[in-house]
Amino acid sequence: MFRNKVKRLLREGKPTIGTWVTINSIDVIEALSRVGLDWLLFDMEHGSLEINDVQRLLPATNGTDTVPIVRVPWNDFVIIKKVLDVGAYGIMVPWVNTREEAEAVIKAVTYPPQGIRGFGPRRAVYYGLEPNDEYFKGVRDEVMVIVQIETEDAIDNIDEILSVNGINVAFIGPYDLSANLGTFGNFEHPKFKSAIEKVLDSCEKKGVAPGMAALSVNNAVEAIKRGFKFVSIGYDIFDLTRTYRSNVEVVRQALNSILSCKG
């Protein structure tokens, strides 16, 4: 069974970095898994990826120690089961607002008698080529569980949510959280900053790694300095468009300069 480097690093209190994946391309995944990232987060919530796409893309990380994690579209035990069965080594679940919802996530990940996950791991055991019992026993040790903290209710209930055994990361998306706090995009607002501090404090008390979707590379560095341990440093399609737009602007300016000199 694949050993989850990211879980080990987080247990040691070390920061990890990764990026969001929405482009449905084996080439992109294969390239990104070889640039030094600790994890790739395949997005089924806001991205267009479906379960068949995820199963086709995950093998592109083979031969690397980049850990494939999937954000499921909802806290649904059927979707969570399918994602894990095709070989994801972690799940991120949006909109977790209460202890009961956090408990539902853990039950969906965990086999009986503690959980409700049905046994049929398919690619997770390479279609029967690896021992079923090894996966059954090791899944809790190697599969990551990340809950998204993105509402005022989640902030109010943060200690109860992170008291649930098996939660590894409490992840903040700044835009969603600020929107639900009524301060969309205002990351300096006292209400938003207070919520961030409350999550950081709760994570420290409960032994859970705090996570953040950084808005830029500099923002990622600042997040790590503040104590965040699971930090995204990019988003595939946005990075592609920003890079090309920047390159186009440089070339257009050079062309304009050349043409003005000729004129």
Q: CA distances (Å), 83 to each of 107, 136, 187, 244, in order?
A: 15, 16, 33, 33
Q: Which of 46, 137, 193, 242 is catalytic?
A: 46
Q: Is 46 a catalytic residue?
A: yes
Rounded to whole angstroms, how far apart are CA atoms 26 and 42? Answer: 12
- Catalytic amino acids? 46
